[in-house]
Structure 1
Amino acid sequence: MTGHHISTKYELSSAPDVKIIDPLADSRWDQFVENHPFGLICHLSGWKRVLEASFSHMKGHYLVLTNHNNDSIRAALPVYEVKSIITGKRLVSIPFATNCDPLISANEDMKQLLNAAIELSEKLGCSRIEIRALASGQLIQDGRIGSVVFNKTHQLSLEGGPEEIIKKFTRKARWTIKQSAKNGLEFQVAGNEKDVSEFYVLYFKTRKRLGLPPQPYLFFKLLWEIFSPSKHITLLFVRHEGRLVAGLLMFKFKDRCSWDYLALDEMANHLNVSYFGVWEAIKLACSEGYKLFDFGRTGIGNEGLMNFKGRWGTTIMDLPQYYYPKEVCLNLNSPEAATSYKIIKQISKNVPDPVFQLMGKFLYQHLG
């Protein structure tokens, strides 16, 4: 059992074969994630380190099934206890991840893991369980859970290289990319925490303009500190006459490169910086050998962003969210349609920056 760390704090009688491990102390975990076809950066032990250090209201519990013959992990469901007096106490798999399939290969394994998650939620006093997915939908099916789709993801195959990829873009996208190359824009790969700080300043302004409270700087700082040494994260800049006009934070894992956070200077919109930056990011991903470029999560009500991402020859896929008990789904609406969401957006656009910062700090102590 060298290098294995099993928690005995919560005994799960309904699923005796399921154990709770600490991925930060268990040498099996990250290798299991690397080898599993659904494994993503958000499954790695470093993600737990980032979340728990950034958000005091979250605690991860990693449910695993092992092979009896050699004690290797065969299936897993990481869930996070998210505490909030506003949104309720719940289990989420996995907070702030675009998609994060359960690491399973059979429906029977999912049933055992779900049994364990349900018992754990009862012991912790959670009102519901939320599981976010992409590719594992057929393996998740269970009469006890329901599902909703409020988000989509746009994915672009990088087969054939830039010369073939650009042929799949719409005429508008190809023309705009060509025009952007004439605007004196400079593409740059960032390299240190000072760059992260510069990105966050522009990201903060972008979120304020959109009326969306920002995640705390600590979250981005820790993402950089933990994942940049292994090259699982890259920060890309677009500058104009030395001034930062766009920043893209990219996650990289196995054959997949994903754009997860974007910052844009609205005063540079006429320079087509978003098209320039995304195209340069795609070309960089090709040169580094990645096979898939993921444009990240987009709310189904965000028509403008859905249209933008649809111009790049992408395949659009659902990002379902599964809930236990299934009755939870009856009371859910798209976040963009909620009155509270609209009120927060309007307030965010008009409050002073220090108040906006505090709003983000407060709200992200209840989200996940």
Structure 2
Amino acid sequence: MRVASEVGLVSPPDTSAWDGLVAASPEATVFHTSAWAKLWTEEWKGSKWEAIVVQDSSGYSGGIGMISRRRGIFRTVESMPFGTYGGPIVREGHPDPSAVRRLLMEAYAARVARRLVARSRVTWYEGTAGDFPDNLRPEESITHVLALSSDYESVAKGFSPSTRRLVRQADESALSIRVAETSEDLHAFYEIAVETVRRRGGTPKPYSLYERILKSLVPAGLARYHLVLHEGAAVAASLHLFHEGTAMSWLPVSRESSWHLRPNNYLIASLLETLCGAGYLEYNFGATPLGAAGLVRFKEGWGARPRSVLIAGRRSALHRRLRS
């Protein structure tokens, strides 16, 4: 079906129109919101929020958001940072959503093929490989998602025997959990985050990013920090993001010295019970790297099941030559 529409790049998008599209798009996530985009344009000097949008008489009927960041003479383009979900979204009820997605992805591929775009990446949760253009082919990754219900006990029945055993051990370890709200709480979270990320071989994100999340996304109901305590000291923590009935584990962290207490199991079980009581529909455990058999067992032990994530990245030939 051919639908009268116009496609173009807007920089930045109209915030009200964009958030209206996000609210009306069943495939939208917290990472599609204007609040998430603003987080990065404030955190990264020289960055811009852009979107390719399809417009018709109702406004934005479809769009793909991205953060364009200056790096010397080059730019990087991510939909969206840091490898979180981006990709196209389409207003519910559109007569031909597949055509809109293909139109958006073709325009995105043209945008990131520009000579001075050094690197680009789009991460599309439950995306459709056939909607990618031929010059931007994706690779498949996975995340793990647990369906929730209002009855936590029915959800807990889906835990594996080993997961139930570890939750019982955690319950006997004199742990407690609370929301982290103050700057002192954030510093406690960050100390454990730095330890955890370095232990995994990564580079910790700057404290300023987590501070911005505390000041902007937390009051908006889009994020929440938690601390797990033992004898008054924080031994584990988490950052979760929220959107339309879905909670996502964005960064769970813990002190290695506390692992015998099972704080990670305690944190997840406590949050799942709270989320069930609050009417949440899904819990997304976050990205599962290919080949991470132990992590797969851990997530599936909670009853979570894999879902597809399509990722398409590109590096320009000019950038590769200059770096060689």
Same fold (TM over 0.5): yes
Q: Is the 8 A contact 1:144 1:324 kept in 2?
A: no
Is 1:33 matched with 2:33?
Answer: no
Q: Is the 8 A contact 2:160 2:301 kept in 1?
A: yes
Is 1:166 matched with 2:156?
Answer: yes
Q: Which amino acid aligns with 1:74?
A: S
Residues 328-347 of structure 1 aligned to structure 2 (within 5 Å): none
Cross-structure match for 2:254: 264
User: How many Å apart are 1:62 and its aligned residue?
Assistant: 1.3
Which string of whole-angstrom CA distances, capped at 9 and with x for unpartnered residues, describes residues 200-251 of structure 1?
1111111222221100011111112111112111111110000101101110
Q: Is the 8 A contact 1:110 1:139 kept in 2?
A: no
User: How many Å apart are 1:47 and its aligned residue?
Assistant: 1.3
Cross-structure match for 2:88: 102
Is the alpha carbon distance of 1:46 and 1:79 closer, same or farther for their aligned partners in structure 2, counting shifts above 3 Å? same
Residues 102-251 of structure 1 aligned to structure 2 (within 5 Å): 102-104=88-90, 106-122=97-113, 125-127=116-118, 129-137=120-128, 140-149=131-140, 151-159=141-149, 161-251=151-241
Is the alpha carbon distance of 1:55 and 1:306 closer, same or farther for their aligned partners in structure 2, counting shifts above 3 Å? farther
Is the alpha carbon distance of 1:120 and 1:267 closer, same or farther for their aligned partners in structure 2, counting shifts above 3 Å? same
Which string of whole-angstrom CA distances, capped at 9 and with x for unpartnered residues, describes residues 182-213 of structure 1?
11011112223332222011111112222211
User: How many Å apart are 1:301 and its aligned residue?
Assistant: 3.3
User: How many Å apart are 1:21 and its aligned residue?
Assistant: 4.4
CA RMSD of aligned residues (A): 2.6
User: How many Å apart are 1:56 and its aligned residue?
Assistant: 2.5
SS in 1 for 2:15: coil
Is the alpha carbon distance of 1:301 and 1:94 closer, same or farther for their aligned partners in structure 2, counting shifts above 3 Å? same
Q: Which amino acid aligns with 2:255?
A: D
Which string of whole-angstrom CA distances, capped at 9 and with x for unpartnered residues, describes residues 91-145 of structure 1?
2211115323311362321333234324433556215542211223156243232
Q: Is the 8 A contact 1:38 1:101 kept in 2?
A: no
**For 1:134 and 1:122, how far apart are their aligned partners in 2?**
22
Which has the larger displacement, 183-192 or 247-256? 183-192
Q: Is the 8 A contact 2:53 2:64 kept in 1?
A: yes
Q: Which amino acid aligns with 1:222?
A: R
Is 1:92 matched with 2:82?
Answer: no
Which has the larger displacement, 130-139 or 283-292? 130-139
**For 2:106 and 2:142, how far apart are their aligned partners in 1?**
28
**For 2:166 and 2:6, how far apart are their aligned partners in 1?**
58
Contiguous gaps of at least 5 residues in structure 1: 1-14, 332-368
**For 1:43 and 1:316, how far apart are their aligned partners in 2?**
22
User: How many Å apart are 1:156 and its aligned residue?
Assistant: 0.3
User: How many Å apart are 1:167 and its aligned residue?
Assistant: 0.9
Is the alpha carbon distance of 1:138 and 1:119 closer, same or farther for their aligned partners in structure 2, counting shifts above 3 Å? closer
**For 1:312 and 1:275, how far apart are their aligned partners in 2?**
10
Is the alpha carbon distance of 1:129 and 1:263 closer, same or farther for their aligned partners in structure 2, counting shifts above 3 Å? closer
**For 2:28 and 2:86, how far apart are their aligned partners in 1?**
8
**For 1:75 and 1:125, how far apart are their aligned partners in 2?**
26
**For 2:314 and 2:204, how far apart are their aligned partners in 1?**
29
Which has the larger displacement, 73-82 or 215-224? 73-82
User: How many Å apart are 1:259 and its aligned residue?
Assistant: 0.7
Could you tell me the TM-score, scaled by structure 1's length?
0.77
Contiguous gaps of at least 5 residues in structure 2: 91-95
Which has the larger displacement, 41-50 or 239-248? 41-50
SS in 2 for 1:274: helix
How many pairs does the alignment contain? 309
Cross-structure match for 2:34: 45
**For 1:119 and 1:298, how far apart are their aligned partners in 2?**
29
SS in 2 for 1:244: strand
**For 2:137 and 2:313, how far apart are their aligned partners in 1?**
5
**For 1:214 and 1:321, how far apart are their aligned partners in 2?**
23
Could you tell me the TM-score, scaled by structure 2's length?
0.87
Q: Which amino acid aligns with 1:100?
A: G
Q: Is the 8 A contact 1:19 1:65 kept in 2?
A: no
